Amino acid sequence: MGEESRVPSYQNRVSTMDSGEKRLNELGYKQELRRDMTMFKTLAITFSSMAVFTGTPLYGPSLLYAGPAPLLWGWVVVAFFTWFVGIAMSEICSSFPTTGSLYFWAAHLAGPRWGPFASWSCAWLETIGVISGISAQAYSGSQTLQMIILLATGTNKGGGYFAPRSVFFCMYVGLTIVWAVLNTFALRVIAFLGIISIWWQVIGGLVVIIGLPLVAQTTQPASFVFTHFEMAPESTGISSIPYAVILSVLLSNYCLYGYDAAAHLTEETKGADKTGPVAILASIGIISVFGWAYNLALTFSIRDFGYLYDESNETGGALVPAQIIYDAFHGRYHNSAGAVVFLCIIWGSFFFCGLSVTTSAARVVYALSRDNGIPFSPVWRRLHPKRRVPVNAVWLSAAIAILLGLPILKLDVVFTAIISISTIGWVGGYAVPIFARLVMAEEDFNPGPFYLGRARRPVCLVAFLWICYTCSAFLLPISYPIKWKTFNYAPVALGGVLTIVMLWWVLDARKWFKGPVRNIDVQNQFPNL
């Protein structure tokens, strides 16, 4: 009688269980994080992790390499191939809705023989990428704030305050700390801010995209925007046309990733096996359209191409979009108030983006520490007893991001290095599970609601090859001749870290790291299963 009485209880439990939680239990994990995120909230955080204005700091250098045509049409090409990556990841996310996401996927898709190594490699690539992503947003936000203060106090020509390196670094640290503090609250706080973020970016994006060309008295013709090709070998040292085009497209490569944030939140999202893929693909679609429109608005509004890079101009030649916006408003209204307002909209985008990236980084660190993949894992996987958020993982991510910003005090190419490390690590992490999905036997895959079927091989192949190209592009030197102050130290920094990680694997970790560690036995939890 006792055994029979437990059967209805189990059946009731399964019938009322969220589909994402049920799949999580089947994968060997118990529900620890609070699952109260809706699809819209997950989309808001994912969208914020990409952000409409993300490419603002890279716009000027990308435009200088080869002119507007490669920059704008490059965005279209990158967006096209990004869809292959997003579709491949959506299928895997639907099958494995866990907060460990990429490295968990890699472990299961690669099989028992290669799973631990695939998981280890993917986990560290993902960790490196997402934590340095915090640094990239902190730098972008600080640079935009630097321009806001400069234009609000009189411009570079009018005695305005241009924050020196030390103050810039303090801004960088301050933003990182604020994001960490906000991420120590319950996830519903971040979700609420994410909803504000999506409206901020959509409405603010429309204001900037539509308003800037309308305000600008002098606009460029369509022939300049869509067909003009112009290299600047005297400034960049690059005279090779293919090389210049590749570097001009880095803007698009950098902006169109980060959609895996939806996967990191799947253990906290209702019906994550369905909503995760929707959030990934919807974010790609929105950013593809809005990001291209933003670049169009900037390019149409250029008053004087050469003046944008003059170190004696109103913005000190430090941020080209800021100069374009200033020229538009000053030309029509003879003041910089409107430019400050537009830059505040852009700064808000970076603020919300950095907040969401910090959320993703903490989930990656938490998931990896839950599987004992990080030194002192018991510390980093500890959850706040009431809020059920990985507070220690949040602060570890923030502390490393601050350390990554220390070169700001001495070097000029810190942002390029940071975004290179972030993109290679973050996007490189995508490659491992996608390649494993490409080569695995189909009968070993347990599909979720989003399933590609026979299309998975061509989709995964194109996605994998595109990721390899993207990572290779960010390893290239960005100017010649190569000097210490302009050297892209990303290959050295990333190579050093990955060498340590691989040596750790060979010498020690392979003996004990077996990939994701089950913390639930479905048969024991539900004896009548």
State yes or no: pLDDT of 176 exceeds 90: yes
Tokens of 122: 């993917």
Q: What are 34-57's pLDDT values in tens digits?
A: 545 666 777 776 766 677 788 899
Residue 362 phi/psi, 5° resolution?
Answer: -65, -35
Is-contact 271 20, C-beta < 8 A? yes
Its pTM stands at: 0.85
pLDDT at 520 over 70: no
- pLDDT, residue 267, reads 62
pLDDT > 60? residue 179 = yes
Average pLDDT over residues 108-116: 88
Comparing 107 with 191, the larger pLDDT belongs to 107
Provide long-range contacts, Cβ within 8 A and 24+ apart, for 104-109. 104/27, 104/367, 104/515, 104/516, 105/433, 105/436, 105/437, 106/432, 106/433, 106/436, 107/515, 107/516, 108/27, 108/516, 109/433, 109/436, 109/437, 109/440, 109/445
The whole-angstrom separation of Cα 26 and Cα 81 is 33
Residue 432, φ and ψ in degrees, nearest 5: -65, -55
pLDDT-derived band at 522 (thresholds 50, 70, 90) equals very low
Query: Is a pLDDT exceeding 90 seen at residue 502?
Result: yes
* 515/456 Cα distance (integer angstroms): 24
Nearest residue to 358 via CA among 56, 171, 198, 137: 137
Q: Are 291 and 54 in contact (CB under 8 A)?
A: yes
What pLDDT score does 30 carry?
59
Per-residue pLDDT tens over the stretch 128-140: 988 999 999 999 9
Average confidence score pLDDT of the chain: 84
For residue 388, give every residue at least 6 positions away whose Cβ sits within 8 Å of its Cβ, in sequence order, or none. Answer: 32, 33, 34, 186, 187
Q: Note whether 352 and 193 are within 8 A (CB).
A: yes
CATH number of 42-512: 1.20.1740.10
DSSP type of residue 271: T
State pLDDT tens for residues 387-419.
678 889 999 999 999 998 998 888 777 888 888
Percent of the chain with pLDDT over 70: 85
Per-residue pLDDT, 27: 57
User: What is residue 17's three-state secondary structure?
Assistant: coil
For the ranges 98-102, 342-346, 416-420, 520-524, the one whose mean pLDDT is highest: 342-346
Q: Which of 215, 200, 261, 255 is nearest to 72 (CA)?
A: 255
Question: What is the amino acid identity at position 457?
Answer: R
Check residue 69 and give its pLDDT.
Answer: 95
Place 1 in a pLDDT band, splitting at 50, 70 and 90.
very low
Q: What is the dihedral of CA 184, 186, 192, 198, to 10 degrees?
A: 50
